Amino acid sequence: MFHLDIRVADIDEAEPKVLEIGARRLPGEGGDFRVYADPVGHPFCLVWDA
């Protein structure tokens, strides 16, 4: 399994979009990333310029 970091310009715009298509938020975040799982459980992060 591998982990994707997806770079986005605006986390407040991107997060609702990934949640709408089935992702769920996971524990863990930093100043410039948040952790999610896709619908089958694979982890990924949304990363933005802080």
Express each pLDDT in 36-47 by its tens digit: 999 999 999 999
Tokens of 25: 């938020």
Q: Hey, what CATH topology would domain 4-47 get?
A: 2,3-Dihydroxybiphenyl 1,2-Dioxygenase; domain 1 (3.10.180)
Residues of the chain with pLDDT under 50: none
Question: Residue 2: its pLDDT value, please?
Answer: 80
E-assigned strands of 1-50? 4-7, 24-30, 33-37, 43-47
Question: Residue 13: its pLDDT value, please?
Answer: 97
Question: Residue 5: its pLDDT value, please?
Answer: 96
Does the reported pTM lie above 0.85?
Answer: yes
Contact 36, 25 (CB under 8 A): yes
